[in-house]
Structure 1
Amino acid sequence: MRPVRIVLSAGALLVVLFAVAVGLLWARQESLIFPVRHEGVPVAAGGIWQVGRLHVPGAGQLSFLFADGAGDPIGPAVLYLHGNGSAARFTATLMDRAARAGVPVLAAEYPGYSANPGAPTEASLRATAEAAAEWARARWPGRPLAVVGESIGSAPAVHLAATGRVDRLVLDSGFTSMTDTIRHHLRWLPAVGWLNRHPMDNLAALRAAAGPLPPTLLLVSSDDPVVPAAMADRLAEAIPASTVFRSARPGHPVLHGDPAALDALLAWLRRAGSLPSQARMG
């Protein structure tokens, strides 16, 4: 009987350890989904970049960065929504060449990031994106508005596109959903859809869009350690007017690791700038 008791005890221990692991993932998922928030480094002006502020319900006054650009007065403006480990100041560094080439850029910052009040959640990222899009429309009237969603920023970016708040959509290393991404990395974890409080279902949002989706550029690495390239293909299938740029360089996200991707983005924006606005405001 002793071997049986040992097996049963070992089995019970494994069940307990598994339950503890699942409980920790449930309780600490915000710190896992939003791991590096740069709380100790407030948003600060520098060079051509100025600090702007906007009110986000449930969070308060959020600081962000913007550059007005000085190029074609009817070319697209860009709203950039960064990934979960980045910050507005890194967006400004990345997009500085674009801004100096005349493209107006708003580098959004999330609640709980860079000394901003509030906390990052799926809902607060959406609210931030909506307020930032409204601010950009007022700051640069008459210009088409393109939103760039980087990694987790793809979720609020898709929300803007699916609800008709922007004229162009760019997804850098975008996922089909956060739930799918968690399943990809934690294959042993059951009931991910139930455990995850931030589903960020981009594919469902695109398919449920009330009107035509805007012209879209997808930036994808064939060797992305975070978001499988196959997810970009599924997103492209859901967007009729989509173009896919495939980077030969490994990494995540694409724009931060492949200078050719920024060239492709700027060229695409110039071409897309000649297209009529599709935003359905109101």
Structure 2
Amino acid sequence: MIRPAPLPSSRRALLRLALAAGASLTWPGRARSQGAPLPAIDALYRLRYEGAQAVELRLRAEAGADGHRSLLTTAAIGFVSLLVDYDGQSEAEGPVRDGRPRPETFASRTVRRGDPRTVDIAFAPGTGDVEALRIVRRGSERESEVPEAMRRGVMDPLTAIQAARAAFLAGDTAPLTLPVFDGRRRYDVTVTVGGRTAVAIAGREVAARELRLAVAMHAGFNEREAGIAGSGGWIHGLVSDDGRALPLVFETRDAPASAAFELVTDCGVEACEPAPAYRLLPGT
């Protein structure tokens, strides 16, 4: 049997960095006013690497007055799918307090080259401290490389997106830093909000807000990943400026290689196939 050749190490590292940053698309801050609903997201995205389609992602998220839940599915596509058999699913849920989503549980299931990996995290909703963590790879439990002292006051990537959107929609546009822990890595995403602009998405013009993201790695990253992040690169992003803060486009700048995370279809506006049998919260 002929096996596909693996991606070069630098490309795998950049792909992991892009996925990590792509999961933290906006920024945290002060809570929205109580009772203000957080608009739902159902959107299809693609990650391009050096101009080639690499990964397809679908993000679905909702929040009610008392709780929130998010689901992110990913799969390798195009030429990359011939090199790396990758697919995964992540889910997060927790309470909404004072209008701000908070972490409680996070579960990630991925398969890469036939290697299944799972991560389960339980957070204390009031503090963001990690109360329980379980990492399994190839049927065996593994220890996280992130010290316990760095697992306090954090949130998972999906809850971070929801909390960040809530802060932005409340008008909090000051530069802020988001502390993220996904079980394997601990990193900060510092976001600076820029001006208003417009971007063409699927033939229509969408009002947008510019962002600048910088990723600071603290633990769990290998030497190549740290080298890429330390190269002075940053990420230019756009979110919709229409009362939803929908992630639109995120592209690396001044990095050793180019990667771009782009909205393909806003499933809240256009039908996405296959239609998901997906109910986030009671009554939705």
The TM-score, its normalising length taken from structure 1, stands at 0.30
- Structure with more strand by fraction: 2
Structure with the larger RCO, 1 or 2 (CA within 8 Å, 6+ apart): 2
Higher radius of gyration, 1 or 2: 1
- Structure with more helix by fraction: 1
The TM-score, its normalising length taken from structure 2, stands at 0.29
